[in-house]
Amino acid sequence: MPLLVQKYGGTSVGSIERIKQVAAKIIRAKRVGHDVVVVVSAMAGETNRLLGLAHEIAEIPDEREKDVLLASGEQVSVALLTLALKEVGQPARSYLGHQVRIETDSAYGKARILSIDSTKIVQAIKAGDVVVVAGFQGVDEDDNITTLGRGGSDTSAVALAAFLNAEACEIYTDVDGVFTADPGICPQARKLARISYDEMIELASTGAKVLEIRSVEFAKNYSVPVHVRSTFSDVEGTWLVNEEESMNDVLVSGVASDKNEAKITLVRVPDQPGLAAQIFGPIADAHIVVDMIIQNASEDGTTDLTFTVPKADHKKALSIMEKALPAVHAKGITVDTEIAKVSVVGVGMRTHAGVAAKMFQVLAAEGINIEMISTSEIKISVVINAKYTELAVRVLHEAFIGKQGTV
């Protein structure tokens, strides 16, 4: 029987009532002839609640123990969903990450999946069970529990679909698919029927949290057909596909925003070879992902070095920088957590000029100051003051996509 991997996010399993509805949906897929492996997130709000508890104890909680704690959210939801399936007569079995050996590296809080042992899953499917696997968690080679980073259940699902050679991976969530902008921010946003893997990678990396970035990279690398759709209706959602010729006609296919970064500036560092390496080496060793970097040389032989890191890591980055301060001869450090990155994404940018200029004009017309800029072949991102995020998304959407632009 063709195998489907279905992933249900936090809101979809946010209450017992919803868990029962999800169970009914899974049974419908079974009835039309699919084998089903289900991946679930923790119930809505649970991961944040657990994080809050850890932070009541420690400002920077020990990372190994934090992962043990956070992984417990998904343990609850796999058990509840499996109970709900059994209750209505569907044989089912839950598994935690370590039980099906979702092996990851040891980067706590952002671990990467290296392999999955599918033996038990395949056996359970053959026995007629729906297999319910805990998302977001794995185990490293020394059997330590790891978590994959926020939104990581998407990655668990796509990785399982890849390792099990599933027909498709369905990501069930609280919106109808991937939209041209976050529908929660931009009422004019429209659902896309299809989006290329590369555009989705850029949208995910710039804040469109409907899919976690690594899940899209996985999907692209292993050619997993991914269908993002609503838990609460049966309408067709958005398919992730390889780039198609017609996609180049569209200049901008999506606008995204991200308030989860913080900006750190090292003030007046000597402008000499080796300093950037000295600064970013320890940050990389601490597995902190630096996003944008700008350096402004001044005439007195010093430079201000500004970079962004995930907000969740900014205290750690700051403490590393404070230790490095004397060695790099910086005059000081400033931090700004009230920033947002706003981005426009589209494969059409490869062949059309002028997108950056238009983006800057649109923001200028609203009096929004641009603090940093970065570009890729198919994306332009700017850092602005966080209070303008929603406004920036709406005016950029209006300018590039419009009320009824073509996609």
Q: Which is nearer to ligand ASP, 157 or 330 (CB)?
A: 157
Give the separation between CA 368 and CA 179, rounded to whole angstroms. Answer: 24
Q: Which is nearer to ligand ASP, 174 or 390 (CB)?
A: 174
Burial label, 53 (beta-carbon count in 10 A; 0-12, 13-18, 19+): exposed
Closest distance between Mg ion and the C-beta of residue 229, in Å?
14
Give the separation between CA 100 and CA 78, rounded to whole angstroms. Answer: 14
Q: Which is nearer to ligand ADP, 153 or 302 (CB)?
A: 153
Stretch of residues binding Mg ion (CB under 5 A), selected from 52-60, 61-69, 144-152, 352-360: 144-152
Give the separation between CA 33 and CA 48, rounded to whole angstroms. Answer: 37
**Residue 151 touching Mg ion (CB under 5 A):** yes
Q: Which is nearer to ligand ASP, 209 or 315 (CB)?
A: 209
240 binds, among ligand ASP, ligand ADP, Mg ion, none (CB under 5 to 8 A by kind): none
178 binds, among ligand ASP, Mg ion, ligand ADP, none (CB under 5 to 8 A by kind): ligand ADP
Closest distance between ligand ASP and the C-beta of residue 382, in Å?
26
**Residue 135 touching Mg ion (CB under 5 A):** no
Stretch of residues binding Mg ion (CB under 5 A), selected from 4-12, 125-133, 191-199, 383-391: 4-12
Closest distance between ligand ADP and the C-beta of residue 253, in Å?
10
- CB atoms inside a 10 Å sphere around CB 300: 9
Question: Which amino acid type is present at position 74?
Answer: E
Closest distance between ligand ASP and the C-beta of residue 28, in Å?
23
Q: Which is nearer to ligand ADP, 100 or 186 (CB)?
A: 186
For residue 379, the cross-strand partners are: 345, 376
For the chain, how many residues are written? 407
What the block records as the tokens of 99 is: 């039980």
Q: Which is nearer to ligand ASP, 136 or 163 (CB)?
A: 136
42 binds, among ligand ADP, Mg ion, ligand ASP, none (CB under 5 to 8 A by kind): ligand ASP
Closest distance between ligand ADP and the C-beta of residue 208, in Å?
4
179 binds, among ligand ADP, ligand ASP, Mg ion, none (CB under 5 to 8 A by kind): ligand ADP
Give the separation between CA 108 and CA 101, rounded to whole angstroms. Answer: 16
Q: Binding residues for ligand ASP, per CB under 6 A?
A: 9-10, 41-42, 47, 73, 135-136, 150-154
Q: Which is nearer to ligand ADP, 174 or 217 (CB)?
A: 174
Q: Binding residues for ligand ADP, per CB under 6 A?
A: 9-12, 41, 151, 173-175, 178-179, 181-184, 203, 208-210, 254
What dihedral do alpha carbons 269, 385, 394, 243 form, nearest 10°?
20
Q: Which is nearer to ligand ADP, 125 or 210 (CB)?
A: 210
120 binds, among ligand ASP, Mg ion, ligand ADP, none (CB under 5 to 8 A by kind): none
184 binds, among ligand ADP, ligand ASP, Mg ion, none (CB under 5 to 8 A by kind): ligand ADP
Size of site (CB under 5 A) for Mg ion? 2
Closest distance between Mg ion and the C-beta of residue 328, in Å?
38
135 binds, among ligand ADP, ligand ASP, Mg ion, none (CB under 5 to 8 A by kind): ligand ASP
Q: Are 282 and 320 in contact (CB under 8 A)?
A: yes
Q: Which is nearer to ligand ASP, 71 or 392 (CB)?
A: 71
Contacts of residue 284, Cβ cutoff 8 Å, sequence gap at least 6: 290
Give the separation between CA 100 and CA 38, rounded to whole angstroms. Answer: 13
Q: Which is nearer to ligand ADP, 195 or 305 (CB)?
A: 195
Contacts with Mg ion by CB under 5 A lie at 9, 151
